[in-house]
Amino acid sequence: MKKERWIIIAGSLLVLTMVFIFLVFPSRPASFKALRRGRDFNVIVITLDTTRADRIGVFGCNKVKTPVLDGFAAQGLRFERCIAQSPLTLPSHTTIMTGTFPPFHGVRDNGGFIVPAALETMAETFKKNGYQTAAFLAAYVLDSRWGLNQGFDLYYDRFDTRKLEGIAERELQRPANEVLDQALPWLDQKKSEKFFAWIHLYDPHVPYEPPSPYDAEYADDPYLGEIAFMDSQLGRLRDFLEANKLAERTFLVIVGDHGEALGQHKEATHGFFVYQEALQVPLIFVAPFPRIHGRVSPRLASLADVMPSVLDMCGVPAPAEVQGQSLVGEFFKASPGPASPAYAETYYPRFHFGWSELRSVQDDRYQLIVAPALELYDLKEDPQELNNIVSSKPDVARSLLAEEARLVGEYSRNAPRPAMGQLDEVAREKLAALGYIGTFASASASPDQKLADPKDKIDVFNDLDQAHELAQNGRGDEAILIVTRIISQDPEVVGAYFILGNIYYGQKRYAEAIAQFKIAVDKKPDDVQSIINIAHCYTRMNQPGQAESFILDQVRRGTEDSNLFFNLGNLYVRGGKPDQAIPAFKKCLALNPQSASANSALARVYSMTNDLAQSESHAREAIRLDPKLIGAHYALAQVLHKGGRVDEAEAEYKREIEVSPTIFKAYLDLAMIYKSQGKTDLMSEYMEKGLKLAPESALNYFFLAEVYLERGQKLEEAVSLVEKGIALKPQRRDLAAAYFLLSKIYARMGDTVRAAESARKGREVGGSRPE
């Protein structure tokens, strides 16, 4: 009995102990639904551009300090291997934001493609589920014109493209501190609401120029300096979330869009190859649930998995077309779940040089690169991918090649039509000059046409890249030597002639530029940008007739492109032929109905012919298509001003200034409106601003000086303004009027001697004193 009693007591204690353990240390929940407990959570997706996983502390790099990223990794789930679907910014971000692969979403390069409107973005999904949405972008390559703004209430891009033709890509980006300066106030405004925010950081992209003190600390490796600086700015976000108690109800996703070669495989940056250094990126999910912190998954992940995973964390259903897989289960599994092979591609060599594209597929051990000469690498034994084992592992190569074909077929099924080549004409031309759009963007190869293998062209690519950089830095003569050497070694590199022509054009050697562009057109008749550049050269040589004839010759030969007719219309406008310009711009619209620039041009031409109804219609359509198009609001303002609708015109002039703060004509027209209304203070303010923006206009100096005279203020400055205008050597009539104005100012100042002398000069020039 005594023994049985002790057995009962012991059993009871065991049960109580188990109950206590269960209550105090509950088992790990099996889903985010259980963790959320019916609560809504905010989402912030942070994309780290050009960031290699192996250059972050928590991923094994001991040469850089990334305490913030390391801390985030400790607060959730980190993937040891995440593969980007492209080594280019726009295609990769399209995959992140749509959960689809490039064969489906169709965005294969930066600049020349637009995200199809038919796709549902992550922002659109969250918006439909009651979230406030905003994006804060660090680089022009993600400007709203490419279509990733779908679903965002606020899409903060606002890059200054007014001088886009002559600048480098580096001038179309902003550092992490400026991005956070915009993001944090918005988060503060929305902290009591449910929100989804995307923060894009671009600092590790070339040029590697970290600010102080990171420039000194990482002088030997400025790329790491950029990552360390970026990490410090993420600290501002962390501190903000914690200070505002948002960290406890916000999910964070931190993901790279692609890596950076840093000289491996002879590639300096990214985009050309699909080796691990360009594809392997960080992926971290952060959730405010301590029970699931500190997880590390060896499962192979893809960028396409980000969207379904984030939606799954929030309990939001994913759109039907999403192709990625939710990774949320990795928070709860002791061992990794099964993963699909990771697909990647780059069409950069194809679109920019006419060489073969590269596609790849990799699993837990091998990567196969589909190129004219197949490449196979054992990532376990050869992580640097230096030993191509395709000949020694033919069975593995065949298996992965079949898998790659299967994946492309699967991902391509029911794909929306790619929105390629429907960019606005002005944007296309400017972006082509920057190198965003390749001259081979529309090229197609016949089945029996053999394209060059990019790995055989890397030296040529590097030389052309160096030449482009030298030319942009004012060292055109050195660039010419490099490009001419390339042409002598390989005359079929069409892009070399285009680059050489651009260098000559920049040096105002227009005849030599024409010769190079014509070679490019001879070798590739549909090279529209070279055709347009030839027309520009003729225009600069004061031969507009030749420019017109050359464009029309190409059209007769079968090259029809909206950009050709847009430039033809501009030639007619400059030549004072509005009746011929109208059908040219209309043809442009027929070929590209989404052209905001063609509508804006038609608005200006119809205004010239006093058809104000048509002018207003096209101006409003231009604004509808692209509210940020420079000159569109000004064109509408001009029509309204002509029609006597002064208040509406005033509003449109101001909208134009918001879009393009340096458009001096808008300031001057506003000054004229305020003069007619007797608002002299506003007239003076806008006149002064306009004059600062257009210091080469003598009449502007005279006009402002007259304003000061009428008000009896700043008379000494008025004298200086007139003298500056006279120094610009205006026309005889305007010069005479300037001397008479100067005479009036001196008289007002009581200087009768100088007043008389100025009046005498006015009469000598040939004018009679105005009353």
Task: Please write the tens of the pLDDT for every residue from 20-73.
Answer: 434 344 444 568 889 999 999 999 999 999 999 999 999 999 999 999 999 999
Residue 769 inside a domain? The answer is: yes
Mean pLDDT of the chain: 89
The residue assigned the tokens 């040029």 is 207
Residue 516 inside a domain? The answer is: yes
Lowest mean pLDDT across 404-413, 424-433, 713-722: 424-433
Q: What is the CATH number of the domain that holds 724?
A: 1.25.40.10
Quick one: 82 and 229 in the same domain?
A: yes
Q: What is the CATH number of the domain that holds 82?
A: 3.40.720.10
Kind plus residue range of the DSSP H or E element containing 197: strand 195-201
Q: How far apart are CA 596 and CA 423, in angstroms?
A: 9
Q: Where are the beta strands (DSSP E) in 347-430?
A: 358-362, 366-370, 375-378, 419-420
Quick one: 477 and 329 in the same domain?
A: no
| More confident site: 14 or 295 | 295
Instruction: Return the number of other C-beta atoms located less than 10 Å from residue 459's C-beta.
Output: 11
Q: What digits encode the pLDDT tens for the residues 6-18?
A: 455 545 544 444 4
Residues 6+ apart with CB under 8 A from 604: 573, 615, 631, 635, 638
Residue 186 inside a domain? The answer is: yes
pLDDT band of 171, cuts 50, 70, 90: low
pLDDT for position 64: 98
pLDDT for position 401: 98
Lowest mean pLDDT across 75-89, 294-308, 432-446, 495-509: 432-446
8-state DSSP, 55: G
Residue 51 inside a domain? The answer is: no
Is 518's pLDDT higher than 90?
yes
Prediction pTM value: 0.81
Residue 420 inside a domain? The answer is: no
pLDDT for position 451: 92
Residue 9 inside a domain? The answer is: no
Q: What digits encode the pLDDT tens for the residues 312-341?
A: 999 999 999 999 999 999 998 867 777 789
At which of 289, 315, 333 does a domain end? 333
DSSP SS3 for 135:
strand
Residue 400 inside a domain? The answer is: no
Is 442's pLDDT higher than 60?
no
At which of 499, 533, 567 does a domain end? 533
Domain count across the chain: 3
pLDDT for position 167: 38
Q: How far apart are CA 42 and CA 694, in angstroms?
A: 47
pLDDT for position 91: 98
Q: What digits encode the pLDDT tens for the residues 612-665?
A: 999 999 999 999 998 888 899 999 999 999 999 999 999 999 999 998 887 878
pLDDT for position 22: 40
pLDDT for position 4: 55
Is 476's pLDDT higher than 50?
yes
pLDDT band of 535, cuts 50, 70, 90: very high
Q: How far apart are CA 187 and CA 686, in angstroms?
A: 35
Q: What digits encode the pLDDT tens for the residues 656-690?
A: 999 888 787 888 889 889 888 988 888 888 888 88
pLDDT for position 11: 53
147: left (phi over 0), alpha (psi -120 to 50) or beta: left
Q: What digits encode the pLDDT tens for the residues 237-270?
A: 999 999 999 999 999 999 999 999 999 999 999 9
Expressed as residue numbers, the domain containing 99 is 76-333
Cis omega (within 30 of 0) on the bond before 730? no
Kind plus residue range of the DSSP H or E element containing 254: strand 250-256
pLDDT for position 693: 77
Q: How far apart are CA 127 and CA 311, in angstroms?
A: 12
Is 79's pLDDT higher than 70?
yes
At which of 533, 567, 587 does a domain end? 533
The token pair at 359 is 């596609």
Quick one: 146 and 291 in the same domain?
A: yes
- How close are the terminal C-alpha atoms of the chain, in Å? 131
Residue 185 inside a domain? The answer is: yes
pLDDT for position 18: 44
